[in-house]
Amino acid sequence: MIPLSHYLTVAFVLFAIGLIGIFTRKNAILVLLSIELLFNAVNLSFVVFSQAHGNLEGQIVTLFSMAIAAGEVAIGLAICILLFRTQKTIDVTDFTDLKQ
């Protein structure tokens, strides 16, 4: 039996990689991918806790979460396409309109 802490360590590492990706990646699609990593890290911990406590609620939440993640990806990709059409780039560092 693999102990709980191993699963959680994997989830933490996944979450950290996702965060770092969000902050450092310049390509909008890769930022989206990193967000997916966050989702997966959280989903993993849900499943693991569900197993550990012996009920199914965590797994049900995971199913919802995956559905939402699918929707989010669809919207995110649509945004990326629109950005590329209007700005001819999807490099997020080029968008500084929030300044001033």
Partner 1 sequence: MTSLIILSPLIGFALISLFLFRWKKLCGWISVGSLLIPFVLIVQLFMQMQSNPSSFPQVISVPWISIMGLHFELGLLFDQLSILMGLLVSGVGSLIFIFSMGYMEEDKGYSRFFAYLALFASAMLGIVFSNNFVQTFIFWELVGLASYLLIGFWFSKDSAADASKKAFLVNRVGDFGFILGILFLWFLSDPTGVSRTVDFAGLAQSIPTQVQLGVISSGAILLAGLLILCGVIGKSAQLPLHVWLPDAMEGPTPVSALIHAATMVAAGVYLLARTFFIFTISEELLTIVAIIGGLSAITAATMAVCQSDIKRVLAFSTMSQLGFMVLAMGLAGPVSGMYHLLTHGFFKALLFLGSGCIIHAVHTQNLFEMGGLSKKMPITTLTFLIGTLALCGLFPTSGFFSKEEILTLAHGHSMLAFIVVLGTTFLTSFYMGRVFSLTFLGPQRKPSDIHESPFILLFPLIVLSFFSIFAGFFGIPELLGRAAHESHHGTEGNFLALISTGVILFGLISSYLIYGRKTQSQDPLSKGLGPLYTLFERKYFIDEIYNFYVSKIQQPFARLCDITNEWIAIKALSHWTGIVVYQVGNVSRKLLTGNVQTYALILAVQIVVIFTLVVILFKL
- Can you give the binding site for partner 1, defined by CB under 8 A? 19, 22-24, 31, 92-93, 95-100
**Residue 1: CB minimum distance to partner 1, A:** 29
Query: What does the alpha-carbon distance between residue 69 and residue 2 come to, in Å, rounded to a whole number?
Result: 28
51 vs 89, beta carbon nearer partner 1: 89
List strand residue ranges (DSSP E) for 11-87, in order: none
**Residue 98: CB minimum distance to partner 1, A:** 4
88 vs 99, beta carbon nearer partner 1: 99
Query: What does the alpha-carbon distance between residue 98 and residue 14 come to, in Å, rounded to a whole number?
Result: 30
20 vs 77, beta carbon nearer partner 1: 20
Query: What does the alpha-carbon distance between residue 16 and residue 12 come to, in Å, rounded to a whole number?
Result: 6
